[in-house]
Amino acid sequence: MGYTQEEIKKLIEDGKAVLGIEFGSTRIKAVLVDDRNTPIAQGSFDWENHLEGGIWTYPMEEIHTGFKTCYSDLKKDVKNKYGVGIKKLAAIGISAMMHGYLAFDKNGKLLVPFRTWRNTITEEAAAKLTKEFNYNIPQRWSIAHLYQAILNKESHVKDIAFQTTLAGYIHWMLTGEKLMGVGEASGMFPVDPATRDFDAEMVDKFNALLAKEGMPYKLRDIFPKVVVAGENAGTLTKEGAAFIDESGELEAGIPVAPCEGDAGTGMVATNAVKVRTGNVSAGTSVFAMVVLEKLLSKVYEEVDLVTTPAGDLVGMIHCNNCTSDLNAWVNLFKENLEAYGVEVDMTKLFSTLYNKALEGDKNCGGLISFNYFSGEGVTKFDEGRPLFVREQNAKMNLANFMRSNLYASLATLKIGCDIMFKEEGVKVDSITGHGGLFKTKGVGQSILAAALNAPVSVMETAGEGGAWGMAVLASYMVQKQAGETLDAYLTNRVFTGMKKETIAPDAADVKGFDEYIEAYKKAIEVERAAVKAVK
């Protein structure tokens, strides 16, 4: 049973609430939780990245303004609901979109505008490092950005005193500490799961490259220190308190958890940090995270290796496109209905069309859809064109059309995951789905179960996503008992009694999706031609 309004008010006044803030791609979100990890207030700030000089970035002023505005919005929510301010907190945790490049000189001055994960400007560096390390280094990783800047002979590189991520930067501003959680760190540079730290052998190899290029530092001189979930990562300084809360109400001295990336907070928010568990986040983009029992047998460009916030190895399949094309088709049906004078309820429309897909042929009857609004690393596309194609004798009906578009939203994810499950024999006991694709009950869930040939659960969670996951990590830091692992804390104290619905894969659906993917792979040449021909 939850707390009463008065009990929550007292809890806030006593400084027992915990704050999690996450910088997402389109929104900064703050979630305040009670000492049972139940959300009690929230705030937000909407923003978009900017393309400046060919670089995707967020200006530093907007990072600062967005952070302060988000926290101010949270304070208003607390005031409106409980009639109190926020002076003390039990803990704070910061999360953000992973990877990217923030480089500072010895005086703390930003040397070049923030380069986000979205930039694909490090192809040469990523390829060279992958070969040097015998470990997949994606273009968006921080080390690829650093090495590319060095290879480009950019003038600022010799002046770097500290390089970090967006989460690492905010943590530094709040605490003065140059460190980050191991999950976030694993998106900067490869992590050795045995040591829960940057891989020592690869660090030595990169230091040799730095020396060869005449750089005046070694990697650990400029990179953050790595800590695991539950460790103390500093306290809020007076300057940090003023940075987050310009009113001066928030007091210094609050413990701050190791900052984490959005992948790590997603794992926490779905209780998927244990070996042989995984989660799939499916919205505008889609990615799967599976906690591995051991290293893969070889390097795959399609599979990123990161870690959980506790430092366990994770295989990650990241795809740029998921529901955008699907949504575009649904909007077309909306226009059609409106042309007939029908007032459209979008929730009902999505539900009707999604459920119609379940009536279609298991292999979509010869209909194939490519949802490539942008490029896809898994299938090696730098750019894309949404495309629908069918055989002459295809069974063209609404059910097959919708099913092909739902399959398309997960097709590249399936191709990547098939490498882990079919080629590497990776075992997974449970997958948790979250995101917009799963809003229509049972449909996206059953399609994903068919794609991965694994049981898929959808939880009745707080629904607050990464900001809530970060608040839970901050709570773990201050609430954990001696020897209590993150997995045990989540299972026994956060998700106990949490309702979830699980759908097992249907054999006929699995066979149908496999047949669809074979046709999809053959048709990829049509997509390549479309990219060249349609400008």
Topology of domain 271-460+505-535 in CATH is: Nucleotidyltransferase; domain 5 (3.30.420)
**What six digits make up the tokens of 465?**
């996503």
What are the backbone dihedrals phi and psi of residue 135, each rounded to the nearest 5 degrees, phi first?
Answer: -155, 130
Strand 179-181 and strand 225-227: pairing? parallel
Greater pLDDT, 287 or 17? 17
Instruction: Give the closest residue to 186 by CA, choosing from 177, 178, 195.
Output: 195
List pLDDT tens digits, range 97-152.
Answer: 999 999 999 999 999 999 999 888 999 999 999 999 999 999 999 999 999 999 99
In the predicted model, is pLDDT for residue 403 greater than 90?
yes
Q: What is the pLDDT of residue 419?
A: 96
Give the model's confidence band at 501: pLDDT under 50 very low, under 70 low, under 90 confident, else very high.
very high
Numbered ranges of CATH 3.30.420.40 in the chain: 1-98+165-188+224-270+468-499, 271-460+505-535
Grouping H, G, I as helix, E, B as strand and the rest as coil, residue 139 is coil
Mean pLDDT of 427-450: 92
In the predicted model, is pLDDT for residue 483 greater than 80?
yes
**Cβ pair 16, 37 in contact under 8 A:** no
List pLDDT tens digits, range 404-416.
Answer: 999 999 999 999 9
SS (H, E, C) 163-201: EECHHHHHHHHHHCCCEEEHHHHCCCCCEECCCCEECHH
Q: What is the pLDDT of residue 500?
A: 87
Give the model's confidence band at 462: pLDDT under 50 very low, under 70 low, under 90 confident, else very high.
very low
What residue has token string 């770097």?
A: 160
Rounded Cα distance, 148 and 206, in Å: 13
Give the model's confidence band at 284: pLDDT under 50 very low, under 70 low, under 90 confident, else very high.
confident
Topology of domain 1-98+165-188+224-270+468-499 in CATH is: Nucleotidyltransferase; domain 5 (3.30.420)
What does pLDDT average to over the chain? 95
Q: What is the pLDDT of residue 461?
A: 56
The fraction of the chain above a pLDDT of 90, given in percent, is 91
Q: What is the pLDDT of residue 464?
A: 54
